Structure 1
Amino acid sequence: MSTHSLSLLPISCHRNPNDPASPLLLSLHKNGLFSSLIGQKLSIQSSHSRLVVSTRYRSTVATVLLSLPTAKPERTSSEKVPKWSARAIKSFSMAELEARKLKYPNTGTEALLMGILVEGTSLAAKFLRANGITLFKVREETVNLLGKSDLYFFSPEHPPLTEPAQRALDWAVDEKIKSGEEGEITTSHLLLGIWAEEESAGHKILATLGFNDDQAKELAKSETDLSF
């Protein structure tokens, strides 16, 4: 069973030296994430993509994704496949959360779109907002298109991807590889992957809100210009 090295996520633990009873702080510097834990005994284990943090009084589980799902298993062991950016990985995590908020059984392209907007700091998110596409509008269009979930339904902790959403992720990887450019797979690639799935909810919502092929080309050009 393979494990991921925590050297990818520099960690520091510290507490207020003037107050021994103060909360112990665990910081993950790479993505600016942190967790405040009350307790004394701290143990950290990494297996696959999960970081487990436990204390004497309680246990907290934080999911730290190092990659995104793929329908092409051979990619998981290939060193030649570009890595996803931290913003793209965070967008994916936010997409799962949005699917759960709406009580949907799956993470679809509409959730991926919302995840990009929730993360909010990427070129793709800024591009969407500049063109009048906001998180509130996408949520509203999602409910209009897909409807509300049953009040008593509870989504799984990690709602599985729909087929269109998985294809959107793999499209993003394929396009990055075909470009021959160095660097990471970004949220722009993810957004363009959603747009490439013409029958998906995400594409339909984008089209309803005014997104079009010309804007997709503009975003792709902006992403290419930034890579140089």
Structure 2
Amino acid sequence: MAARILSFLPIPTASSRSSAPVKSMSSLSPPPNHHAVRLRSFLFAIPISVAPSLLFPRPSLRSAASVVSILPTAKPERASAEKLPRWSLRAIKAFGMAELEARKLKYPKTGTEALLMGILVEGTSETAKFLRANGITVFKLREETVKLLGKSDMYFFSPEHPPLTEPAQRALDWAVDEKLKSAGEDGEITTAHLLLGIWSEKESAGHKILASLGFDDEKASELAKSADKDIVMKYR
């Protein structure tokens, strides 16, 4: 096909080449856009490995934590309070993972069971390590959650940020209260405080699932001893 098309095109002769006026590329192209030229020179001046991070910076977890330093609370006076302990970065990330787990299971709300899964999905906290050391994994939590609460309607879609259930909200507020009792405004509210808050809700799905997987008051007491410390725990 290409050969047929080319056969119909006129072949320039020496005379036609000499008589045809030669125009520079600058005369054929439209007037340059000075902003575009400056941007193009800027892009080519930046190494490929560096350009994406400069042009499209990704929000870090630390910057996100400065915005979401206070997780949802049922106590209005806390929403505007400045002198309150902050949630740790891992606890904030675990909360975000909990919302995601609730959406995966297509649940309308984020419950205590989702908060537990969020702690384990985040995975780097000492609380998550403590749970795994005691045989409690995210896969077992999901399995027990479906057994206890059932599967959601396959045609139901969770909201982007599923609201907290009442037990889950009380667990968060319990964690803040416990931190205030133990260390006042100093330090951070960790995932250990969050887990103990879930355990304090005796009738919640999270408490029942933990109990079914072997978690008890003795393990809760062991976890509470190091709730304020960021150390590597010694497991039995």
Shorter-normalised TM range: 0.7 to 0.9
1 or 2, which has the higher strand percentage?
1
1:101 is aligned to 2:104: yes
Q: Secondary structure at the match of 1:175?
A: helix
Matched letter for residue 169 of structure 1: L
Identity among equivalent positions (%) equals 71
Aligned to 1:72: 75
1:198 is aligned to 2:202: yes
Superposition deviation, residue 17 in structure 1:
1.3
Question: Residues 154, 219 of structure 1: CA spacing in aligned structure 2 closer, same or farther, 3 A cutoff?
Answer: same
Once residues 15 and 216 of structure 1 are traced to their aligned partners in structure 2, the CA distance between those partners, rounded to angstroms, is: 57
Aligned to 1:26: 57
Q: How does 1:91-130 map to 2 (within 5 A)?
A: 91-130=94-133
Deviations 1:137-168 (A, max 9, x none): 00000000000000100000000100000000
Once residues 16 and 199 of structure 1 are traced to their aligned partners in structure 2, the CA distance between those partners, rounded to angstroms, is: 62
The 8 Å contact of residues 16 and 22 in structure 1, kept in 2 or not, is answered as no
1:131 is aligned to 2:134: yes
Deviations 1:184-223 (A, max 9, x none): 0000000000000000000000000000000000000022
Matched letter for residue 112 of structure 1: L
Gaps of 5+ in 1: 1-13, 34-48, 51-63
Which protein has the larger Cα radius of gyration, Structure 1 or Structure 2? Answer: 2
What RMSD, in angstroms, separates the aligned Cα atoms of the two structures? Answer: 2.6
Q: 1:208 aligns with which of 207, 212, 221?
A: 212
1:180 is aligned to 2:183: yes
1:217 is aligned to 2:195: no
Number of residue-to-residue matches in the alignment: 186
Q: 1:169 aligns with which of 157, 162, 172?
A: 172
- TM-score w.r.t. structure 1 length? 0.75
Once residues 88 and 129 of structure 1 are traced to their aligned partners in structure 2, the CA distance between those partners, rounded to angstroms, is: 17
Aligned to 2:15: none
Aligned to 1:7: none
Superposition deviation, residue 16 in structure 1:
8.4
Gaps of 5+ in 2: 1-42, 232-236
Aligned to 1:88: 91
Matched letter for residue 187 of structure 1: T
Aligned to 2:33: none
1 or 2, which has the higher helix percentage?
2
